[in-house]
Structure 1
Amino acid sequence: MPAAGVSSAPITPGGVPLIALPVPSMAASPVSAPRLSLFRLAGPTIVGNLLLSLVHLAAIKIVAALGAEAVAAVIAADRIYMAIQLIIFSITAGTTTMVAYAWGAQNPAEADRVVKLSAALCLGASLLLWVAIQWLATPMVAIFGLQGDILTEAANYLKVLIYFNVFFSFLAVISAALRAAGDAITPVWVAAIGNVINIVLAYLFVYGAGPVPAMGIIGAAYAAGLSYAVVGAIFYWLWMRNRLLLKPQKQAFFDRDRMRRLVRIAVPAGLEQSIFNFSIIAFMWVVSLYGTEAFTAYGIGVNILSVSIVIGIGFSIATATMAGQNLGAGRPDLAEQAAWRNLKVSFGIMAGLGLLIGVNARLIGSFFISDPIVLDYLVALVVMVAIVQPMMSIEFTLGGALRGAGDTRSPARIMFTGFAFGRLALTGVFYWLEMSVYWVYAALIADYIIKCAMYLVIFRRGAWKSAYGG
């Protein structure tokens, strides 16, 4: 039997080696375990996600002067845009796992093949989305109750974002691959450039200046799209000039076994993303039944609290990298230790920051909106979600460990259970009983209680340690 993390590479009749995938085994002799720092992985990712959250908040702040309906249109279009990215995000879930395993097994050539295969698949998916959204944009954003000119503007906003989706998909792949290989810093500073461009162009395009005409909310869409294009171009230039940790190599990257493994990881991840986005859209739809004020408050509240949530995402990505690389090196014991250690740190940080945001909910909310009804809804929502911040750390950290190990099926099952018995059942009952929207907001707590309990049970069982080779 070959050493853990190393497999022989049979040669095809054409002379191309088949995929050499690391299959860890407790009985095998492990390669040297990777030396990874939690905060060097999580820290830059958290900073990058915070910058992204601030960009979304800046866009809302810029558009807010146009009125609550304009903000609702942007929120609706952005939500649909992120929902239809589930294909891209599911592919990058596979990218993260496979690159981490290859890097842990000291096989950079395989990591390069995974990156190229992922980029090719995302390119095809982006082109399909570009065609589909031209027909589906209006009915998709209409589910939030938008009508008239605002509906048209929201649909056009979504179409503009899709024009630039090729760039977004490439930067998603290369960023995921770099983090999986241990470089979490480069994606941050490159994305920071795009964030600055986004904010400057958003203000310029929305309100106009000099020869640039005022474009309204559609200007914010062009600003975001152009920032994606710039970041994608910078990443591509760095990659082709061998300036990144992952070096492009002249080699074939497609074969059935590699595709099969990527799809096996990506499909459950895509299902999880589908359930996640459907649950958010369904939840937003129920909230929209309570009126534009409640809907607008929900959209703003989620963006405000994302400042706290992105910390969990940072720990999720870091834990996925550490789990994948340690398993690729044949050290499942270190993978498990890293997950528990990361959970303790993320739990404490997210609990503290959630408390800080919750206590200052009205002060923060008043910065974005002055409407007293919207502000009251917003404060209630912020408090509800602040309560679940510590529980989110469990979902993010242990979920990251499972995905990094190649077990994307368990998170999908957990997501569905929480959605079905938490959000869906309770929100339906609350609305049917004609209870206030505050009760609908509170259904989030039940959702996370269910998911946290399931994550703890499944992780302790340990079956995830052999998921990649299964």
Structure 2
Amino acid sequence: MTTSTSKPSFSLTSDDIRATLIRMTLPMLAGMLTLMTFNLVDTFFISMLGTEQLAAISFTFPVSFSLISLAIGLSIGTSAVIAKALGAGELTAARTDGQIALWLSALLVGLLAIAGFILSDPLFKALGAAGEVLNYIHLYMDIWFAGAVLLVLPMIGNAILRAAGDTRTPSIIMAGSGLVNAVLDPILIFGFGPIPALGMQGAAIATVLSWVVGSVLLIRLLVKRDLISVAPVSRSQFFTISRKILRIGAPAAGANMLTPLAMAVLTAIMASYGPQAVAAYGVGARLESIACLVVLALSMTLPPVVSQNFGAGLLNRVQLAYHLSARFVMLWQFAVYLLLAVFAIPLAGMFSDEPEVIRIICLFIWIVPLSYGLQGIIILTNSSFNALHRPANALWLSIVRLFVFYVPLAWAGGKLYGVGGLFAGCVLANIFTTLIAWRWFNRAVQNSGQEGA
């Protein structure tokens, strides 16, 4: 049986690396830019409800991103397993892998969402949420948890498409889901015609409905292209394939889930400065997701280049791809910093009219993005370690960055110099971690060459 999925018309192991990375990254960047922009619109509409609602949505980031990080890790494992099967011409195995990846991901995210719902109160109280802010969190997260399984299905579906060589379709579906969310947000939050104003609940419902659209479109597409099997699978098949996916996906998920854990600690630290500081930090986190879009897109397209050239023994091309990407993100992120710094005050004014919130948002923009280029190198190093089938290295690098440098230096900076010192501590952490990441990855590639010699 043949599949209707077309293969890329270029070679990752022989074509010009710079041109190949650009060709693969641009479609991903377009989709992610649209999606992240619509997510920023989501924060904008919630900010119009008030500072307490904005603080509430900021408290949700560490918890919601924990589930998202699990989904990202599972998508990394899914893509690696399916790409290997497709490359070996094992189409039937690849389709079964895709089906089980969807079931496994839905099961794990569903269980984590149930745990989050049950432990909601102690979780958010531990982060520093209280009073009316906690009530707003429940209005949003109770619905978010109920629809969380629909979050993971599009992410795994996109990973299956990328493994089959298609980066354009995932971009279109990401953008489409983001558009649905952006259109529904003002209607459900503020009301329109017969639809009542639902406030925070409306924002959550709009998000879940966008996931429904993405899930339906992707599953129908995967079945139509014959990329997933619809035949029943045995229990032994389920566990065997799940182990293959989790062998790479579990460490990758662990590395990704450390980020929201660190965010949770920083959110708790920010809470000691008041709800205005938490609200401002939440806005900064959303702006960061937009500012680092190119890096995130590269982190999805660099791994197949690294992995295929590594498999072919072309280690010089592995290092060239890594070095070109690192050099580019340093220059790109510095340009982004200059743009953010110039427009910091009007950007902050878009999200709040409270002077203290605006002041802290501006402080964030003027300090933290200074190290986004270095942070980009760390992210690319993590994804490249996974591509080299060294997920444990990526996990350890994340631990070092977040809990040896990031949280301790941010806490110390905050104690010494207040919020500005906390942000400066984040910058120092990225400097120290990048030095380690750069040296460690290049040594890993050299060691791989000696092992293969």
Asked if residue 206 in structure 1 is aligned to residue 189 in structure 2, the reply is yes
Amino acid at match of 1:365: A
Residue of structure 1 in register with 2:273 after alignment: 290
Q: How many residues align?
A: 436
SS at match of 1:183: coil
Higher helix share: 2
Tell me, in whole angstroms, the C-alpha distance in 1 between the residues paired with 2:229 and 2:14.
22
The match for 2:96 among 110, 113, 116 is 113
Amino acid at match of 1:295: V
Residue of structure 1 in register with 2:161 after alignment: 178
Q: 1:431 to 1:195 in 2, by over 3 A?
A: closer
Residue of structure 2 in register with 1:60 after alignment: 43
Contact 1:103–1:325, Cα closer than 8 Å, also in 2: no
Asked if residue 320 in structure 1 is aligned to residue 303 in structure 2, the reply is yes
Tell me, in whole angstroms, the C-alpha distance in 2 between the residues paired with 1:183 and 1:32.
14
The match for 1:134 among 105, 117, 120 is 117
Tell me, in whole angstroms, the C-alpha distance in 2 between the residues paired with 1:271 and 1:207.
38
Deviation at 1:101, TM superposition (A): 3.4
- The equivalences for 1:334-413 within 5 A come to 334-413=317-396
More off after superposition, 166-175 vs 40-49: 40-49
The two structures, once aligned, show a CA RMSD in angstroms of 2.7
More off after superposition, 88-97 vs 371-380: 88-97
More off after superposition, 281-290 vs 258-267: 258-267
Asked if residue 232 in structure 1 is aligned to residue 215 in structure 2, the reply is yes
Deviation at 1:358, TM superposition (A): 2.3
Residue of structure 1 in register with 2:80 after alignment: 97
The match for 1:51 among 30, 34, 40 is 34
Residue of structure 2 in register with 1:81 after alignment: 64
Tell me, in whole angstroms, the C-alpha distance in 1 between the residues paired with 2:360 and 2:408.
22
More off after superposition, 304-313 vs 264-273: 264-273
Q: TM (normalized to structure 2)?
A: 0.88
Q: Deviations over 1:331-364 (max 9, x none)?
A: 4443333222222223322221222212321122
Q: 1:381 to 1:426 in 2, by over 3 A?
A: same
Residue of structure 2 in register with 1:451 after alignment: 433
Deviation at 1:123, TM superposition (A): 1.5
Give 5+ residue unaligned stretches, structure 1: 1-30
The match for 1:221 among 184, 204, 211 is 204
Tell me, in whole angstroms, the C-alpha distance in 1 between the residues paired with 2:349 and 2:146.
34
Residue of structure 2 in register with 1:242 after alignment: 225
Deviation at 1:431, TM superposition (A): 4.4
Residue of structure 2 in register with 1:23 after alignment: none
Give 5+ residue unaligned stretches, structure 2: 1-10
Q: 1:91 to 1:303 in 2, by over 3 A?
A: same
Q: TM (normalized to structure 1)?
A: 0.85
Q: Identity of aligned pairs, percent?
A: 22
Tell me, in whole angstroms, the C-alpha distance in 1 between the residues paired with 2:318 and 2:410.
38
Deviation at 1:107, TM superposition (A): 4.4
SS at match of 2:353: coil
More off after superposition, 55-64 vs 108-117: 108-117
SS at match of 1:98: helix
Tell me, in whole angstroms, the C-alpha distance in 1 between the residues paired with 2:91 and 2:314.
19
SS at match of 1:436: helix
SS at match of 1:210: coil
SS at match of 1:462: helix
Tell me, in whole angstroms, the C-alpha distance in 1 between the residues paired with 2:299 and 2:221.
26
Contact 1:97–1:324, Cα closer than 8 Å, also in 2: no
- The equivalences for 1:405-444 within 5 A come to 405-433=388-416, 435-444=417-426
